Amino acid sequence: MLNDFISTIAAALFVGLIVFLLSHISKKYRGVGLPKWMMPAAAGATIILYSVWIEYRWYPHMRAEMPKSVVVLQAVDESVPWRPWSYLMPMVVRFMAVDGDKVTHPVASAPQLAETDLLLIGRWRAVQTVPTVYDCKTGSRADLIGGATLSPDGTLSGAQWMKLPEQDPGLKAVCSKG
């Protein structure tokens, strides 16, 4: 967040410097400089445009920084009144992913059970993980939260299996690794 703030201010100062130089060049060769309101207007427009660009750049940048084994399960975009442009082009503010390379099979007698962490990633938030177990045979998933456990014999307690669509990207990513 601090990095975004510093880069936004630096961009505004850079544009302000360019307008300042253009004003002096104009004054030298034309005898008339640019209007006095031009520098603060250009700096303000730069702050707004750069801030919007940073917001839209976040998701593609995060996605590009992740290993190829990470599969995005769902991206959540939003449109809000204080970002009126987001009604034309909604912005991704959080997403859920799974790393196919971080899959374990904790129950030797039930190799169809695959355990991994769901990654909950949001703008301006720390990454949260949700321990999850997939049953690759039945195409189901259960989140191991709130005291839910998977016993050594493969019995799930404290959670319910959720049937997933056959083409669920998480199911495909997790179950193709075993």
For residue range 153-164, list pLDDT tens digits in order. Answer: 888 889 999 999
What distance in Å separates the CA atoms of residue 44 and residue 65, rounded to the nearest whole number? Answer: 31
Both 55 and 94 in one domain: the answer is no
Asked whether residue 82 falls in the same domain as residue 159, the answer is: yes
Q: Is it the case that residue 178 has pLDDT exceeding 60?
A: no
Which domain covers residue 61, as residue numbers?
2-65
Task: Give how many domains the chain has, as a whole number.
Answer: 2
Q: Across the strands, what pairs with 98?
A: 71, 118
79 and 57 inside one domain = no
User: 39 and 89: one domain?
Assistant: no
Which pLDDT belongs to residue 177? 66
Tokens of 64: 């590009």
Residues 89 and 166 both lie in one domain? yes
Asked if pLDDT for residue 33 goes beyond 70, the answer is yes
Q: pLDDT of 36-91, one tens digit each?
A: 999 999 999 999 999 999 999 999 999 999 999 999 999 999 999 999 999 999 99
Q: Is 54 left (phi over 0), alpha (psi -120 to 50) or beta?
A: alpha
Q: What pLDDT is attached to residue 94?
A: 96
Out of 65, 90, 116, pick the residue that ends a domain.
65
Q: Which long-range contacts (CB under 8 A, 24 or more apart) does 68-71 make?
A: 69/99, 69/100, 69/101, 69/102, 69/173, 70/97, 70/98, 70/99, 70/100, 70/119, 71/97, 71/98, 71/99, 71/100, 71/169, 71/170, 71/172, 71/173
Please check whether residues 36 and 123 belong to one and the same domain.
no
- 4-33: average pLDDT: 94
Quote the pLDDT of residue 66: 94
